[in-house]
Structure formats: C-alpha cells, structure tokens
Amino acid sequence: MLISNTKHEITVPLNDLTAQYISIKSEIDSAIERTISSTAFIGGEEVKQFEKEFADYCEVKACTSVGNGTDALYLVLRALGIGEGDEVITVAHTFIATAEAISLAGAHPVFVDICEDTMLIDPDAVEAAITSRTRAIIAVHLYGQPCNMTRLMDIAKRHSLKVIEDAAQAHGAYTQGQRVGSLGDAACFSFYPGKNLGAYGDGGAVVSQNEALIERIRMLANHGRLEKYLHQVEGVNSRLDGLQASILRVKLKYIDKWNNLRQKHAVAYLKSLPDSKVTLPTIQPEARSVWHLFVIRVKNREQFQDYLKKRGVFTGIHYPIPLHRQPAYQHLKISEGSLPITEKVAEEIVSLPMYPELTHEMRNRVINSVNSYYSHS
C-alpha cells in the first residue's frame, strides 16, 4: 500500500499487514464468519484441519498447535524431559523467547557465537560449548535462512543431544532439499502477525516426525489431558483459537507465492545495493531462505536510518542488544566481548522493508535511497 508523505512522495513501511489483508479479504472474512457461526472457538474442526495441513506443508508426520511460539519452545523442552540442572545451547543473536523458554523449563541457557557471514549459529562454537550437562541445541533459523543442520545434527548424534529448530522466522524454508521443521527432533513455529505465515493475534505450533512426542506436547498444552477432566500430568493452557486457525488455513494456501515474492525482492536488493558500502546477506548454497527479513550491515547506523526515514523508507533493527547483554541475563555473568561476532553484528544490522506486497516502485525507492545515501556520504 502506497502512503503519501508531506512531499507527495511514496512512503515505504517496514511491513504492511493491511496490504496483505486487502489481497485476501473475502476469503479471510468468510473464514472468520464460518468459525463464529460454528462457535468452535477453542479447538474444533478448523484447528484439527490446520494442524493436518501444516504438518503436510512442513513434510512431517505430526503437528500440534499451541498458544504462541514461546510456548512451543517451552513445551518441546518439557516434553523431552529437559529441566533443572540441564544446559541448552543456543545463540544470543535472537529474540528473547528462545532463551526464555529454556529458563521457563528450568534449564540453563548457554549462549554461543554466530558465523559472521550468515549470522547463524556457529557449529564449531556449539561443539566447543558441550559439557556433561548439555542436553539439547536450539538452532535458530534467523531472518528466514536455515542453519547448517547437517553439521548440527552430526554434532548432536555424536554427543547424544536433542536438536530443536526455532523456525519462527522460517516458514517454508529449505535446506538440502528438505523443509525446515523436518530435520531436528522437533521444530517450533510462531504465527505472530508479522511472520511469513501470520495469524491475527498470537499463535504457534510444534511439528515433528515423532508422533508420540507431538501427542505428549498436545497433552501438556491442554492442561495435561487428552480427554476431558482426565489429567495425566500438570500441564499448561496453551491452545490455538479456532478463529486464528481458520485465518491461518487461508494464508497457508498463499505462503509459497508470498515467499517467492520475497525471494524476488531479495534478488533485486542483492543486485542493486552497493556491496562495496554495505554488507549484504549471505545465503548458504544448500539453503533456500524465505527472507522473513532482509538484513544488511552498515557503519554509522543511526545516521543511515535517519537518512532513509527522511526519504520515506522505514527500517528496523533485529536485534540491537544481544541476549547476553540484556539486564534479564546479567545473572549469568557473561562478560562483554565473550561473543565478539554477535556483539559486532548487533551494532551494524539494519532491516530493510521486506514483504510480498512491496511494489516495484516501493522497492526502487528503497534501493535508490540506500544508493543516494552512499553517493552523498
């Protein structure tokens, strides 16, 4: 959707959920009306069908929906029996939900550094961090690109560890011809509205080739029960609403089309942005990113963002403060400089507008604004 600014030039938002809704409005409105008419607001046929369709999409045997992506991670850890005294290796370059889930399960998050080219978890750092207390690795498929799952699965096999895919930003991505979500012991998805597959509120899911694991997670997410009033364990309340499931079923039909449009925008950015001035994203040869975000690295970030904003181009930062430097994790006593690549990247990253509904004119506005900044600086 084009928005005029005071100079009568187009404005390019970082994301535009209104444009997506307008493109599928009749189907979304019909799905919502159908769900309200059925009064199946918790559970019901829409949830059941979405779980089946999403499992098929991810090329896995089973899926259970949950309340949000954070719960998805927590419930997997709990279902795997990971808790007090255990360590789980992951990255500090991610949203806090990844580490929150580890702490909520009673385990200890162990942060390792990332590879500078992909900004994804460094398998060598993972192996170096393994101790007798390590139980699992959470591989975060950040910005839409899968981690090096071949290396991570090999490390996990040799050390008898579980691998959990945090796929909150990678719906539909591939690596070595396999869908994200089908590679680890389980994979966790978020359907936060801004995701590649986003609901109109919170939502999440866990997928796996292990059907028994999914059934245990389903039970834990529904107060520890599989049938009414018979509780096998103490669980939690983390269920996908019927309304959200109906919306996600509509959107699931379009996700590959939308991901292809993101790919088209990414190719245009990669071809047209000044790689001698900015650090462009690097995609592993075996991976197919779904470009949840298009993240570049620049010097003088604040000045760069301010320049683009004045030209009607809005940007973001994902994420400016690594988890090990957050006040919430100061009790871990991780010294500054202990994750040098993570800390370096956090000072330079900028997310450019990236969503399927970007028009050619809007995309060129972004490209021309970046190029203009460097031609004048």
Calpha distance 87→92 (Å, rounded)? 15
**Residue given tokens 């096998």 in the structure block:** 232
Handedness of CA 230, 221, 332, 122 (dihedral sign): positive
**Taking a C-beta distance cutoff of 8 angstroms, is the pair 158, 126 a contact?**
no
> Which residue of the set 25, 162, 195, 299 is catalytic?
195
Could you tell me where the DSSP H helices lie in the chain? 17-23, 25-38, 45-58, 69-79, 97-104, 123-129, 149-159, 211-221, 242-252, 255-272, 301-310, 340-346, 360-376
36: which 2 tokens? 């309200």
**Alpha-carbon distance 218 to 213, whole Å?**
9
- Read off the DSSP letter of residue 114: B
Joined tokens for residue 270: 């990669």
Nearest-CA neighbor of 93 among 69, 122, 130, 70?
A: 122
**Residue 253 is a catalytic residue:** no
The dihedral built from the CA positions of residue 38, 41, 44 and 50, taken in this order, carries a sign that is positive
DSSP 315-329: -B-S-SS-GGGSGGG
Task: Specify the DSSP element, H or E, that contains 236.
Answer: none
Distance of CA 59 to the CA centre of its chain: 18
Distance of alpha carbon 89 from alpha carbon 341, whole angstroms: 17
Whether residue 319 is preceded by a cis peptide bond, meaning omega within 30 degrees of 0, is yes
Cα(204)–Cα(64) distance, rounded to whole angstroms?
9
Question: 187 and 208 in contact (C-beta within 8 Å)?
Answer: yes
Please state the separation of Cα 374 from the chain's center in Å.
31
Q: What amino acid positions are annotated as catalytic residues?
A: 195
